[in-house]
A and B are shown apart, each in its own frame.
Chain A
């Protein structure tokens, strides 16, 4: 930690604060916001890189971004296999199955107010329970392979979708329902033409919540036992071996996956629920 390094750090800090402040002060154009956030991110990376190299932070503590990028490139094959194992096999199948089941059960019990009143409080309460803790049981039942992780994800994604579907089906206004009634529309007609479309914003919202939950579920479930492949397995074993740059690489893969999935679902929301006030206001 030389005086020169400290001086550089102070200078860079001044430059960073100045540039970000200037950028944030720009009024008007739509690109100003993302630009400021991006600039902030870039400065963060610069400080991370500079700080780690200048002050010789040990690699086991915090690897420099360049080291992480290097390990991303170097272990691209390994991380690619982890991605296929965790995301494409466990997360996607579990997320799709859990969400579909939640939706189906929600629609099925729509005509049974007794079951609704019984299930809704129970289903809402599950959001306060650490459901991911069933992971060891699922690993025992379904083995180390991706099926056990998908099972955890199914369980975690089922209840939010059930709650959202039930809430969404109630969202159609009284006037519209009475209009359908005056058209002598059958239950099924009303469901398909009025109530399901009204439920779409709720359902897409649950899909978004579920995307994050599913990734967390699959990664944590792999901490409890997995074949020698998978993002969660990579994170836990390489952290134990103090190979931190690869751990960060796996986290980068998981984070990028999460953000991309979210962005994709937002696009879907724009297409399917373009009429909803919460989408139009954006």
Chain B
């Protein structure tokens, strides 16, 4: 727990900076709209007013917290006014896409490791796709799937899926190839079949490569799901909340959605880390 003190210090510094920023950024608007009507306002008036604006340039942390709290407590869970509902919508498409993308990635990696043709023909393209903004294809995927009559979770999950599968494939190919020559030769002397060698040697050896890539994948999948929510008429999901917030100038709403998406990202990664601990327990380092 030696980290606790420094982290708390940094976080409280951020909080202080945030309050200072809120006062500084909102000051102009407050002076123009509120305080100029009254004569002889003081600095404390300014601080009070800047931290309680309805549409601030930068809302104060407690305003965001209150907005979050009221949106979660005051409305039923299935109401579109409840932010947890939108979080659940985004989390659902992220998770569906993540699971499908991981499966696809692992299957593709297994095929690539066992086929020289795929290794030479396909792998360079998958590696190259890491350098390309794949997310830009999201609107196209939405249009194509939309015209095929798919709506709701499916298109969003599809986008989350293809963002997830690239890093998983690359890491799994590396991992499935990581067993030492001496180990593969041992399997050979046991007359192990390729399938047995795969499950008993390659797969366990690939796990340490798989989990870091899963963390990258789920973060990318979350971004994908949120971006996929933008052009669909912004009905539900955290991405849609961000967009409606920016349409109506509802800054506090944007920040609430932002905070929740950050929390969702942390939660999903923590879940992956938890699964990693569960699977890798009893292993050295």
Binary per-residue interface labels of chain A (101-139) against chain B in the complex, 1 for a CB within 8 Å, 0 otherwise = 000000000000011111101100101111011111101
Residue B182 is within 8 A (CB to CB) of chain A in the complex: no
CB proximity of B274 to chain A, nearest CB, Å: 14
Q: Which 8 A-B pairs have the closest CB atoms?
A: A118-B6, A136-B246, A118-B10, A40-B121, A239-B139, A262-B131, A37-B124, A117-B6
8 Å CB contact of B116 from A25, A220, A235, A254:
A25
A33 within 8 A of B: yes
CB contact under 8 A between A141 and B57, given known A60-B143, A130-B222: yes
Instruction: List A contacts of B222 (CB < 8 A).
Output: 130
State how many residues of chain A have any CB contact under 8 Å with chain B.
Answer: 66
Q: Mark B130-145, 1 if CB is under 8 A from A, else 0.
A: 1111011101101110
Given contacts A136-B246, A137-B251, A239-B140, contact A130 B219 (CB under 8 A): yes
Chain A positions within 8 Å of B, measured between CB atoms, are 20-21, 23-25, 32-34, 36-37, 39-41, 60-62, 114-119, 121-122, 125, 127-130, 132-137, 139-141, 208, 211-212, 215-216, 219-220, 223-225, 231-232, 235-236, 239-240, 242, 244, 247-248, 250-251, 254-255, 258-259, 261-262
Identify whether the interface residues of A are mostly helix, strand, loop, or mixed: helix
Q: Is B120 an interface residue (CB 8 A)?
A: yes
Looking across the interface, which residue of chain B has its beta carbon closest to that of A242? B143
A129 touches B262 (CB 8 A): yes
Q: State the Cβ distance, A155 to closest chain B Cβ, in Å.
A: 12
Chain A CB within 8 A of B156 CB? no
Within the complex, what minimum Cβ distance (angstroms) separates B180 from chain A? 17
CB distance from A202 to the nearest CB of B (A): 16
**B57 & A140 in contact (Cβ 8 Å cutoff):** yes
- Residues of B within 8 Å of A141, CB to CB, are 57
B265: interface (CB < 8 Å): yes
B133 touches A122 (CB 8 A): no
Once the chains bind, are A232 and B136 in contact (CB under 8 Å)?
Answer: yes
* Beta-carbon contact of B143 and A244 below 8 Å: yes
Contacts of A248 in B (CB 8 A): 140
Size of interface on B: residues with Cβ below 8 Å to A: 60
Complex formed: what's the CA distance from A134 to B249 in Å? 14
> Is residue B43 contacting chain A, with contact meaning CB distance below 8 A?
no
Cβ-based interface call for B242 (8 A): yes
Shortest CB distance A256–B (Å): 9
Interfacial chain A residues near B144, Cβ < 8 Å: 61-62
How close is B183's CB to chain A, nearest CB, in angstroms?
21
B33 at interface by CB-CB < 8 Å: no
- Nearest-CB distance from B24 to chain A (Å)? 12
Residue of A nearest to B262 (CB): A129
12 contacts between A and B (CB under 8 A): A25-B116, A114-B6, A122-B7, A129-B261, A132-B223, A134-B258, A137-B254, A140-B249, A212-B132, A219-B133, A236-B230, A244-B140
Q: Which residues of B contact A247 (CB under 8 A)?
A: 139-140
Q: Which residue of B lies closest to A256 (CB)?
A: B132
Q: Which of B11, B117, B137, B258 contacts A137 (CB 8 A)?
A: B258
Question: B92 on the interface (CB 8 Å rule)?
Answer: no
A121 to B251, Cβ gap below 8 A?
Answer: no
Q: Is the CB of A254 within 8 A of B132?
A: yes
Q: Are A258 and B265 in contact (CB under 8 A)?
A: no
> Does residue B72 face the partner (Cβ distance < 8 Å to A)?
no
Which A residues lie within 8 Å of B120 (CB)? 23-24, 32-33, 36-37
Distance (Å) between the CB of B240 and the closest chain A CB? Answer: 12
B61: Cβ under 8 A from any A Cβ: no
Residue of B nearest to A134 (CB): B258
A107 vs B125: C-alpha distance when bound (angstroms): 36
- The listed residue (A130, A139, A240) touching B246 by CB distance below 8 A is A139
Rounded to whole angstroms, the CA-CA distance of A254 and B136 in the bound complex is 8
User: Considering the chains assembled together, what is the distance between the CA atoms of A140 and B124 in angstroms?
Assistant: 40
Bound-complex Cα distance A140 to B242 (A)? 12
